[in-house]
Structure 1
Amino acid sequence: MPNTKLCDQLGDFNAWRDRQLRLLKQLQPWFKQQGLYTLETRNAIEQAQRALRDKHMTVAVAGEFSRGKTELINALFFAHHGRRLLPADAGRTTMCPTEIFCDSSQPPYLRLLPIESRRNEYSLASLRDQPDQWIHADLDLDDPESLSRDLQKLTQSRPATRREAAELGLVVDTAPSDAGELNIPRWRFAQLNIRHPLLAQGLRILDTPGLNAIGSEPELTFEMLPSAHAVLFVLAADTGVTRSDLHVWQRFIQRPGHVGRRGLMVVLNKTDTLWDDLRSSRQIAESIVKQCREVAHTLGVNHDQVFAASAQKALLARVQNNAALEQRSGIASLERYLGEAMMANRLDIIRHEHTYRVQQALEALETLIRRRLERNGNQRRNLAALADQSDAAISRMLESAQYAQAHYQASVDAYKQSLSSFNEHGRTLLSALDVRTLDQTLDAIRASMTGAWTTHGLKEAMRALFKEINMRLEVAGKQAQQMRRLLRTVYRRFQSEHDFKLAMPAMISIVRHQVELGLLDQEAEIFRNSARTTLMEQHFVTKRYFRTIVSRSQGIFQMAYEEAKQWRETALLPLSIEVKEHRDALTRQMADLRHAADSRKTIQQRIEALQRDDTRLRTQMMSIGKVHALLLDPSATTPARVSGQN
């Protein structure tokens, strides 16, 4: 069994995740029982539950060929096998992107997607569900020799003419042999399902080959790498940052808008090539630190994101249980930081995008309960004062209450008009963000491109796509602005005229989605104008690329639509509840005054009922406070940042 810090960190995270799920499950029936299960609360809890049930975390390892990426994976995750699990011989090793995971419902296997599948326009996502397209091999983990032979398939290549490589959408710089042939990867993609305690807890590893494979797969470039919770960009100490390294970094790793990202680590691998018996340990360490600083400066990252390591020595040390060599290899600092970065990114997503919404819903409930307590207090004081009032005084108070009720009704009528206008703008907003109507435009763009899927055709299709997107976002932005203005107006009216003490709800903004789509347009522009794209004129390549960009655009639109839909449903909900409860309070006040005019005996009974209701409300408030504390859960705070060995 592997005994690493990563196991402990992932185990702690999953324990926290399970505690949060149990808490949310217990909350739902309690909210229903207490009459507090509002639409806002229900939506927030259900979203948080969905986020928490997704236990997958992905580590992507990227870089040019021959940087030791696969050996780094062996050292970090598979040293407990007592040997080199994944093939990592000198020179080119992994020839295709490889996804490593654990699916306990299936026996261990290796699935290989032939490179010939690039002849069609099917995406990797759609091919995952077509088993007949893959070469499947069951793995015997108890037979090292058999396992080694099967995994060697990841390194396989085959001869091809330059024309065939171009037909497959590959750009290969390898010099052709005398026969005019060159080597291309045999496989387009590989999936390795293997038993491992870290993988069983939801960890997934994405091993990528060099520039050509990354740039040739739009899904890898635009979906799989960007969505990883941690990315290890691997360099070699004996070469430093080469031109091709910098190209991979700028094109595929340090994407626009992701500068300073915590889950991004640079690994200066093969530091053992700098170990020199003729130099002191201090001189070697200073040389490594200097090179790390130069790498950080060249790539524009923080120095503590650059880790010097020797994956080969780390693997050897762990296989031989050599603590001194393991420490010298630098693997421990990288492993510790990697675990913290993954957990921090995952926690940020869950807390800021999901648990935070539950907290907001709880705060809205606390405000609601406080207002009920205030109303109860006012009613008790008013009732106590009635005991000493004459019938004439009570009659005057009844007239005053009737006037207040009529004035309040005028505000309610104005509120209903604002609500109607708010919903009308909301319908226009949702229509602009509706993926279904966007798809109709996309179908028209595809139809216009039939038979013209060249680089020029791709540019025209992209231009039409983003023109439509920007037009829709402009409409959505204007509608959101009108809705925000209406919301502020109606809230302020009730705050000023009727002493409502409601905080303004969170305001909708589509700016984040506009930025995401803008960055996607930038990435697409870079790809469209690259020399690589010019060489990939085959229609299936450009169509597959277009489909990938469309898929990401649809995903962003769908997210914006869901957020807008939920905001439209819940933004006025606290005010609607307060409007109803204030109206009910006025009605009760009128009833109390009429009863007091008939008999003073009912006053004390009503005061006692309000006191009992106070006790119930205060108990609710205390319970919600405890839930707040459990959601924050101090034991799950992000670990303190640690520096690398550098």
Structure 2
Amino acid sequence: MGPSFNEQFDQHGAWRRAFAQQLKQLGEWMSSHELMDAAVQERLQRLEAQVRSDKVTVAFVAEFSRGKSELINAIFFADYGRRIMPASAGRTTMCPTELGYDAERAPSLRLLPIETRLQPLGLADWRSRHDRWLEIPLDVQDADQLARSLEKVSEVLRVSQEKARALGFWHDDMPDENPVLGPDGLVEVPMWRHALINVPHPLLKQGLVILDTPGLNAVGAEPELTVNLIPQAHAVVFILGADTGVTRSDLSIWREHLATASGDAAARLVVLNKIDTLWDDLSSPEQVELQLERQRVTSAEMLGVPLERVIAVSAQKGLVAKINCDDVLLESSGLPALEDALAQRVMSQRQEILRAAVSSGVAGLRAETGRVINIRRRDLDDQMAELRSLRGKNASVIDAMRARIEQEQREFDLSTTKIQALRAVHLKLLKDVFAQLGSKALKAELSELAHALQQGGLKLGAKKIYLQTFDRLRTTLDQAVASGGEIHAMLSGTFRQLNAEFGFSLQVPAAPQLESYQQELALIEQSHVQYLGVGNAIKLAQPEFAQRLVRALATRLRTVYESAANDLELWSKSATAQLDAQLRERRRSFSRRIEAVDRIQQAATGLVERITEIEASEEQLGWIEKRLQELTGQLVAMPQAMSEAETA
């Protein structure tokens, strides 16, 4: 068995810190050798931000009373020596809860009142409205205070049926899913809509985010959770009762919120929890094992997942074993097997994504800086050939050389007019693409869908409108790809002209690749269309719920469009940075050439000295190129070395 999830995540965090440090050193080294332009700086910043802010989200999903919070305690918080998340009898997580760490905020529990559902804002919008959250400071040194404070996530309100209906917890046409009606005519609903727990737990500090979700009713009532947060999690742990297996409500959660046709879009692990309820003196260990294996096989078949993804555990016994350092009980609990599965599936997937990002980013850095080095090398070669041609020549020849250089400089200055015109056309085309991917255009694309869903009654044609909407969204992205191609073609033609007329060595970077965003759009469509099943038809009949669903869609699409626009902008900077770099280097070259001729005119030794200087500069340039390959090679090798160390 390999390293546990905690150990692998700890290694992952150490790699991220080391990588960020090496990236910083690379940036400082490039700046000291004047290799930093706008495009290179942008690439460095993006790589650093991606690695530093890299998050790994693990969502725990279950119907009520499956031991979900206890499982979170056992995997992540056993070091506190007690339960941290509320998991005792009668106490359960009533609202979606995110556990993470933000160093810029003090340790705290923030709670968003459930009444915010009555207002036309999504969860993403409420996150930035800090005044609407109840904030409770947390003392991370005091486990008892921490646990007492976190019990608030299990608080409830008693409200009328009418208010429960408005909040999305009461459906006249779905009586089986409604909360129990009390003798006073009131029902219990969660007091809080969402909870954010910010604590400097070692794993959370390194980028782990734990998403603890409530049962079916609460999950289904918050579309943003269902179609945004859970689908984007890097792993989903779905918890069943070992004694009951897959119940009807479990199957409903799985089919409506978790089943995916996209394979491993996120790792799906199924946990049969509370296996200790099957341990008794009347059954032999072999009989218990046989019973568990039948439950695993049946659960795998009902959910349509490979058998190896169904893991039997006892979260409660695992927690006790960790606290009491009881290795035998820990092994019997099955918890190490689950942690190993999490480590292998989640971390290997995340590291693969980061490796690809690092390789791509470093390749871009090398291409950008390689062009600058080649410009310098070409100018040095030209200067060397020019100076060697002056050996043994008289003063009039040297004067003629100076005049020719000045004429070249005047002709070169004329290129700036054409370059300015190119910039104007380029920026206009780019602005048009940004408008296609902007929030105003996105809102217009979603207007028909929003209008259709806001109507009362059953939305029998909702799926058709969704499909039409996503057809338009795909067309928009396709147009952005086509526009990128047009800009690429325009720059290619103009660069060839500038190269021919003014001796530049401009080369347009490869056209921006936006296929990943087209794939992401397909995944979003899949999660939303899946959500339109019969089970949610009655919820969709409520305009308020439908509005929340559209807001959730808009939030996620905005992220996709903004990311695509950012990639286009980076590509654009890469192209225009070449112009800036070559203009800068060419001006320096003219200054050096004129300075060299002046020195030759003033002293006979000037020519030899200048040739020696250029030879030294060429050697230095070769060293810079070699050192750049070494530094960037170390960055590429780091993720691979980390992966090999973990699997050793």
Give the TM-score range, shorter chain. 0.7 to 0.9
Q: Tell me, yes or no, if structure 1 residue 212 matches structure 2 residue 217.
A: yes
In the alignment, which residue of structure 1 is the partner of 2:574? 570
Q: Which of 511, 534, 538 lines up with 2:538 in the alignment?
A: 534
The letter for the 1-side match of 2:524 is L
> Structure 1: how far apart are the matches of 2:471 and 2:341?
42
Q: Tell me, yes or no, if structure 1 residue 515 matches structure 2 residue 514.
A: no
- What's the CA shift for 1:314? 0.6
> Structure 2: how far apart are the matches of 1:309 and 1:11?
23
The letter for the 1-side match of 2:338 is L
Q: Which of 622, 625, 629 lines up with 1:625 in the alignment?
A: 629
Q: Which of 434, 438, 441 lines up with 1:434 in the alignment?
A: 438
Q: Give per-residue Cα distances to partners, 1:15-61, cap 9 Å, x unaligned.
A: 33333333333344433332211111111112223334426543321
TM-score of the superposed pair, with normalisation by structure 2: 0.79
Q: For the structure 1 residues 495 and 79, does the alpha-carbon distance in structure 2 shift closer, same or farther, using more than 3 Å as the test?
A: same
Q: For the structure 1 residues 374 and 307, does the alpha-carbon distance in structure 2 shift closer, same or farther, using more than 3 Å as the test?
A: farther
Larger deviation: 264-273 or 134-143?
A: 134-143
Q: Tell me, yes or no, if structure 1 residue 366 matches structure 2 residue 366.
A: no
Larger deviation: 445-454 or 208-217?
A: 445-454
- What's the CA shift for 1:617? 0.7
Q: For the structure 1 residues 182 and 149, does the alpha-carbon distance in structure 2 shift closer, same or farther, using more than 3 Å as the test?
A: same
Q: Give per-residue Cα distances to partners, 1:79-109, cap 9 Å, x unaligned.
A: 2333333333458832222223456777765
- What's the CA shift for 1:228? 3.1
Q: Which of 226, 231, 238 lines up with 2:243 in the alignment?
A: 238
Q: Secondary structure at the match of 1:100?
A: strand
> Structure 2: how far apart are the matches of 1:130 and 1:573?
38
Q: Which of 315, 328, 331 lines up with 1:311 in the alignment?
A: 315
- What's the CA shift for 1:325? 1.0
The letter for the 2-side match of 1:326 is L
Q: Which of 248, 253, 259 lines up with 2:253 in the alignment?
A: 248
On the 8 A contact 2:86/2:151 being kept in 1, the answer is yes
The letter for the 1-side match of 2:538 is T
> Structure 2: how far apart are the matches of 1:302 and 1:498?
63
- What's the CA shift for 1:327? 1.2
Q: Secondary structure at the match of 1:238?
A: coil
Corresponding pairs, count: 638
Q: Secondary structure at the match of 1:36?
A: coil
Q: For the structure 1 residues 316 and 123, does the alpha-carbon distance in structure 2 shift closer, same or farther, using more than 3 Å as the test?
A: same
Q: For the structure 1 residues 382 and 106, does the alpha-carbon distance in structure 2 shift closer, same or farther, using more than 3 Å as the test?
A: closer
Q: For the structure 1 residues 191 and 293, does the alpha-carbon distance in structure 2 shift closer, same or farther, using more than 3 Å as the test?
A: same
Q: For the structure 1 residues 178 and 402, does the alpha-carbon distance in structure 2 shift closer, same or farther, using more than 3 Å as the test?
A: closer
Q: For the structure 1 residues 68 and 117, does the alpha-carbon distance in structure 2 shift closer, same or farther, using more than 3 Å as the test?
A: same
In the alignment, which residue of structure 2 is the partner of 1:190? 195
> Structure 2: how far apart are the matches of 1:211 and 1:9?
32
- What's the CA shift for 1:563? 1.6
> Structure 2: how far apart are the matches of 1:448 and 1:40?
42
On the 8 A contact 1:317/1:326 being kept in 2, the answer is yes
Q: For the structure 1 residues 14 and 299, does the alpha-carbon distance in structure 2 shift closer, same or farther, using more than 3 Å as the test?
A: same
- What's the CA shift for 1:331? 1.3
- What's the CA shift for 1:168? 1.7
Matches within 5 A, 1:85-100: 85-89=84-88, 93-100=92-99
On the 8 A contact 2:312/2:334 being kept in 1, the answer is yes
Q: Secondary structure at the match of 2:244?
A: coil
Q: Give per-residue Cα distances to partners, 1:262-296, cap 9 Å, x unaligned.
A: 65433232333455667765675576567546655
Q: Secondary structure at the match of 1:509?
A: coil
Matches within 5 A, 1:274-313: 274-275=278-279, 288=292, 292=296, 295-296=299-300, 299-301=303-305, 304-313=308-317
- What's the CA shift for 1:238? 2.8
> Structure 1: how far apart are the matches of 2:424 and 2:177?
66
In the alignment, which residue of structure 2 is the partner of 1:505? 509
Identity of aligned residues (%): 31
In the alignment, which residue of structure 2 is the partner of 1:119? 118
Larger deviation: 359-368 or 139-148?
A: 139-148
Q: Secondary structure at the match of 2:551?
A: helix
On the 8 A contact 2:517/2:560 being kept in 1, the answer is yes
Q: Tell me, yes or no, if structure 1 residue 222 matches structure 2 residue 240.
A: no
Q: For the structure 1 residues 623 and 578, does the alpha-carbon distance in structure 2 shift closer, same or farther, using more than 3 Å as the test?
A: same
In the alignment, which residue of structure 2 is the partner of 1:50? 49
> Structure 2: how far apart are the matches of 1:140 and 1:588?
64
Q: Tell me, yes or no, if structure 1 residue 173 matches structure 2 residue 176.
A: yes
Q: Secondary structure at the match of 1:571?
A: helix
Q: For the structure 1 residues 36 and 148, does the alpha-carbon distance in structure 2 shift closer, same or farther, using more than 3 Å as the test?
A: closer
> Structure 1: how far apart are the matches of 2:584 and 2:152?
69
> Structure 1: how far apart are the matches of 2:293 and 2:496?
59
In the alignment, which residue of structure 1 is the partner of 2:618? 614
> Structure 2: how far apart are the matches of 1:597 and 1:105?
62
Q: Give per-residue Cα distances to partners, 1:563-586, cap 9 Å, x unaligned.
A: 212212323544775688689979
> Structure 2: how far apart are the matches of 1:132 and 1:592?
66
On the 8 A contact 1:495/1:502 being kept in 2, the answer is yes
What RMSD, in angstroms, separates the aligned Cα atoms of the two structures?
5.0
> Structure 1: how far apart are the matches of 2:397 and 2:150?
93
Unpaired runs of 5+ residues, structure 2, are none
> Structure 1: how far apart are the matches of 2:598 and 2:131?
80
- What's the CA shift for 1:498? 11
TM-score of the superposed pair, with normalisation by structure 1: 0.79
On the 8 A contact 2:453/2:540 being kept in 1, the answer is no
Larger deviation: 628-637 or 229-238?
A: 628-637
Q: Give per-residue Cα distances to partners, 1:587-616, cap 9 Å, x unaligned.
A: 999999999999997654443232021122
> Structure 1: how far apart are the matches of 2:514 and 2:638?
33
> Structure 2: how far apart are the matches of 1:141 and 1:29?
37
Unpaired runs of 5+ residues, structure 1, are none
> Structure 2: how far apart are the matches of 1:606 and 1:149?
77
> Structure 2: how far apart are the matches of 1:480 and 1:231?
36
- What's the CA shift for 1:200? 4.4
Q: Which of 328, 334, 346 lines up with 2:332 in the alignment?
A: 328
Q: Tell me, yes or no, if structure 1 residue 561 matches structure 2 residue 560.
A: no
Q: Give per-residue Cα distances to partners, 1:159-187, cap 9 Å, x unaligned.
A: 55554432221256357558576543343
Q: For the structure 1 residues 374 and 111, does the alpha-carbon distance in structure 2 shift closer, same or farther, using more than 3 Å as the test?
A: closer
On the 8 A contact 1:343/1:638 being kept in 2, the answer is no
